[in-house]
Amino acid sequence: MRKMTVLGMVVIVGMLAFTSLSFGYTWNIQTVQDVSGQIEGSINSVAVSPVDGNFHVAYRAVSAGKLREGVGKSEPYTITDSVTGAGGNYRWISAAIGSNNVPWITACNTWSGGSVTASYNSGSGFTTETIATGTLSGSAIAVRSNNSPVVSYGTGGGDLKYAERTGANSWSISTVISGGGRYEDSQIALASNDSPYIAFRNDWNYTLLLALKNGSSWSTETVASNVMNSNNDGSGSLDDDQYSKVLDIAMDSSDQPVIVYTDTSGHVQLKVRTAANTYQSYSVTSSGIARSVAIAVDSHDKAYIAFNDVTKGDLLLASADLANLSAGFTTETVVSNSNDGINVQRYLDVAVQNNGLPVISFFQINGSPQMKLAVAVPEPATVGLIAAGVLGFVRRK
């Protein structure tokens, strides 16, 4: 009777465990929708379901006057042609999903006097609720641990607002900051105790600010004084309020906000809050012009920063461990305009998949306009080499 030694058994167990590891990842570029003339300049957002891992991509169909959603893990995606069921020019689109697998999408509609809405799909199609009406901008959404959403947005009167859903068609709205600027861009993130943090810019003086909720009141901190705005995006041709995302926010494992933004030179900068009014600063890029930027942080505090370089039309991703930012960033080209023939000039977003790898939503501007996803796919360890290693270590009696 042949028996394996204990050493052989240990090696086999170790080798089998090793088969679950990955040596890296590759990028799978997927088309969510290809509709020429319908989604030009598409503003978009991507969220990942914590339940089934599906990607939910929210985007606007400009010529069709619709807010759309694409859902799936690979092509073909299931498209909801009209999330709101009504026509409009939808801007500042943001998507989020709670632990109950219900997607939420917020957007500002600049038609018919203006409004900010929140739409959700609990399984039988989307229901849309109007949060506020008027000249509104900069809407962003997050979902609390009780699966109810919160939304930040700016008003034409120069206020920044925060809305909490308290029930069906019921929203409690508070003023974060009143007057003193034009707050057209905001992004929101929640701490583990659901405390909201809102990153936003004042277009009047290029200032990036952070708002924190303390009980029933709000306080603000100045994060940076050189954030890109609609008049200095380096291109002189497009209004970045409409086609770009120049700031974003995420939370780290210690419940501190991590903020990324594009500065007045078009370079990507990172700010990590360490205490009240205290930030560590890091330069992600020092060349090119990034018109759009987004950030996501995984459960191990690895930050993924997606951005484009409009001087080339490329889509890039910078990554770094937040605990070791002094080591710098690893930057890779996800889509190359010159090599792949895909020009990435405008809005984008990034999220973390359930496997810990990034997924990026972006818009292809050239050729037939397309809403796309760049999905990081893990590369499995080579089974053949592992098997050979096992056989080499097994001794028989």
Report the C-alpha gap between 280 and 302 in whole angstroms: 16
Q: Into how many domains does the chain fold?
A: 2
Q: Give the tens place of pLDDT for each residue, 162-188.
A: 999 999 999 999 999 998 888 878 999
* Host H or E run for residue 279: strand 278-283
Clarify whether residues 5 and 99 are in a common domain: no
Q: What are phi and psi for residue 66, nearest 5 degrees?
A: -135, 155
CA distance 62 to 248: 24
Residue 242 confidence (pLDDT): 54
Confidence at residue 253, expressed as pLDDT on a 0 to 100 scale: 97
Same domain as 133, residue 260:
yes
pLDDT at 239: 41
Return the pLDDT at 39. Answer: 59
Pair 151, 138: CB distance under 8 Å: no
| Per-residue pLDDT tens digits for 10-45 | 334 444 444 444 459 999 999 999 877 665 557 899
Q: Which domain holds residue 8?
A: 1-21+381-397
* Phi then psi dihedrals of residue 259, to 5 deg: -120, 130
Whether 295 and 397 map to the same domain: the answer is: no
Same-domain status, 298 and 270? yes
Q: Does residue 12 sit in the same domain as residue 99?
A: no
User: Which is nearest to 190 in space by CA: 250, 134, 240?
Assistant: 250
pLDDT confidence of 237, banded at 50, 70, 90?
very low
Q: Are residues 293 and 353 in the same domain?
A: yes
pLDDT band at 6 (very low <50, low <70, confident <90, very high): very low
Pair 123, 66 in one domain? yes
394 and 325 within one domain: no
**Do residues 103 and 169 share a domain?**
yes
User: pLDDT, tens digit, for every residue of 48-96?
Assistant: 999 999 999 999 887 778 999 999 999 999 999 999 998 898 999 999 9
Beta bridge mates, 209: 200, 222
Residues 6 and 145 in one domain: no
Residues 290, 311: Cα–Cα separation, whole Å: 8
* pLDDT above 50: residue 353: yes
Residue with tokens 């008049």: 231
C-alpha atoms less than 13 angstroms from C-alpha of 377 in its C-beta half-sphere: 10
| Spatial CA neighbour of 57 closest among 347, 291, 340, 305 | 347
pLDDT computed for residue 303 by the predictor = 98
H helix intervals, 329-382: 337-340
CATH assignment at residue 196? 2.120.10.10
138 and 158 Cβ atoms separated by less than 8 Å? no
CA distance 20 to 156: 53
Three-class secondary structure of residue 386 per DSSP: helix
Q: Are 97 and 200 in the same domain?
A: yes
Q: Looking at the structure, do residues 267 and 173 belong to the same domain, yes or no? A: yes
